[in-house]
Amino acid sequence: MEPSIPSKGRNHRRRSSAHPGNFTTIQSGVNALSLNTTIPQVLFIYPGTYIEQVYIPLLRSNLTVQGWTTDARSYEHNTATITFNLSKLSVASNDLTATVRQWNTNTKFYNLNIANTFGHVDVNGQNLAVSAHTGNQGYYGVQFWGYQDTILANTGNQLYAKSLIVGAIDFIFGQTATAWFEKVDIRTIATGYITASGRSAATNPSWYVISHSTVDGINDTVPAGSSSLGRPWSSFARVVFQNTYLGNVIQPAGWSVWSSGVAGNTLNVTFGEYANYGPGSIAEEGPRANFSSQLDVPISRETVLGDGYENEWWVDMRYL
């Protein structure tokens, strides 16, 4: 399964590689993209490890970012890695810590590994792999590696499919994104919380729905019961896990409060589960936290991404 790439002559191809006539860094390839054309553009990344922070600005065109792979159907054969080492100790915002700062709308990523290797400190330890700062973004066969705040799914419609997401604390987080995660492998590396929804009001459209996925420790050294499905960064947090395998790293209560004060932000949350299974599910554990619920029906993609989402350019239905 290869993503549909426009034919040569109808798009602007930019390659990050040491080959003559191309680019030796990802950012130099990004900088060579046209800010003004409306013709779809492609950034193709050869195998290798690129140690840099990448900022993709707002373009007028659609953008495809494709990493080299022998099998685009999953993340397992990815050969192109972008990695950086930065936390909020050194910069003024979460976004500025990200290895990839993705600010363009209508963007698709395929078969890249994106990592922030900072690790962890107790204060200002946020270290993002990706800041998905705008809407209409799709990530397919991508690996995301971090510790705290791995993915900032911040604004608008976003789709993550057949990907790997690794972290420990609040490692899927944001404020107003309507984000759907399909057939993703979520792996914890230490004690913590998988999601941290910053939905701050009933009128905020934000959703995080993890569907037909797996949750487990990255290896056998991660203790049982060491993680929760999420905690509410803001008081109207809305997160659902459905039809998903939950390993024994999930604690029996399933969900956590944000802090010990003001009911821990739990009075207006929507923390739901539907038909999950495995040793970390309510079928094997329980009782769940009293501010969470078991749903009677699953959440639909249309509820999160809108009617007609399957016809959007940034949505690749072959991965769903």
Region 85-114: mean pLDDT is 97
Cβ-count burial 73-90 (b if 16+ within 10 Å, e if not): ebbeebbbbbbbebbbee
Q: Are 248 and 215 in contact (CB under 8 A)?
A: no
Q: Specify the pLDDT at position 19.
A: 54
Q: Specify the pLDDT at position 14.
A: 47
Mean pLDDT for the chain? 93
Task: Tell me the domains of the chain and their CATH numbers.
Answer: 9-153 (2.160.20.10), 188-320 (2.160.20.10)
What are the strands of the beta sheet with 292-294, ordered from one edge? 12-16, 41-45, 63-67, 107-110, 137-140, 155-161, 176-182, 207-211, 238-242, 270-274, 292-294
Q: Specify the pLDDT at position 6.
A: 31
Measured CA to CA in angstroms, residue 140 lies from 27, 64, 83, 91 at distances of: 21, 11, 18, 29
- Nearest alpha carbon to residue 239 among 199, 192, 278: 199
Active-site hit among 149, 170, 216, 316: 170
Tell me the pLDDT band of 10, cut-offs 50, 70 and 90: very low
Region 255-284: mean pLDDT is 90
Decide if 216 is catalytic. no
Q: What is the DSSP string of 9-78?
A: TSSEEEEESSSTTSBSSHHHHHHTS-SS--S-EEEEE-SEEEES-EEE---SS-EEEEE-BS-TTSSTTB
Region 188-216: mean pLDDT is 98
Q: Specify the pLDDT at position 286.
A: 74
Q: Specify the pLDDT at position 18.
A: 52
Give me the residue label for tokens 């397919």.
140
Q: What is the pTM of this model?
A: 0.93
Q: Specify the pLDDT at position 283.
A: 86
In this structure, the number of other CB atoms found within 10 A of the CB of residue 10 comes to: 8
